Structure 1
Amino acid sequence: MGSFVSKAMNENFEKMQAAQETMLQRQIQMQNYMRERQMAMQLARAREMFYWLSSFYGICSVGMLAGFMKTKKPAAIAPFIPLTFLVAYQYDLCFGSKMYRIREEAEKILENEKTSLYLPGDGLPTVKTLDNLRSIDYRSSNK
């Protein structure tokens, strides 16, 4: 009788473990999916900003060149240089290889500079800390 009960408990434990593993895999997939969506939104936002910046750059360039032709003073085209860098940076971010270079740099940081990523204070929060914070927030929102 005892072996039958222990065998059933073992099977239940294995089923629970398999269910937890499946749940963890789903959570990992969901987090990765949400991360990809956030990155896509950031890239779309950067591209939208590029369109506005490049339009501004084009209009200003025409105005600066017209001012230079009229006055023959180099000060009229002085903003051309920083604006060029700004638009080139945004283009590289949106359509160039900047995202790949950022990812490579992030991988180097994860491998070689792990201490730069430590959380301030006591590190990772505990369940007790989170419960305390949750109870504080709950009390303050009911006032």
Structure 2
Amino acid sequence: MMRKLDQRGAAAMEFGLVIAPLFVLMFVIFDFGRYAITMQSLRNLASAAARQNMIQCYTPAVVAGTSPSTCTADYLTDTQKQDAAPFLYGAGLTPTMGTTAGATALTVTASLPAGSFSMIMPIWGSTLNTPSASTQIPF
């Protein structure tokens, strides 16, 4: 006569084996989603700042090929920045803006200060903790 195997606890054991990778996958997706939204918001902010820079600085002399090296100010108001990147300001982050003049282009950069954005999962290290996006304006 064959004895029936004891199956008590098998479902709990299977659940325990499946739930850990499921939670890790869920947090990885959440982390990359936050990072993607943050990067897209920074790109929008850099593009809006570059557009405002072109409106303020591009004179006939610039169009003729003269470098607009004096146009490195931040021409966006706080309200315009919040309109361009509502996710950043809604999450309590404060992006910084910078414009540098190169030989053939102005580069407008929007970035988050170090330590203001951090990933939930510690496995990424600090590589993704300082997101930054830039837009070049050729002249």
TM-score normalised by L of structure 1: 0.43
Relative to total residues, which structure has the larger strand share, 1 or 2?
2
Relative to total residues, which structure has the larger helix share, 1 or 2?
1
TM-score normalised by L of structure 2: 0.44
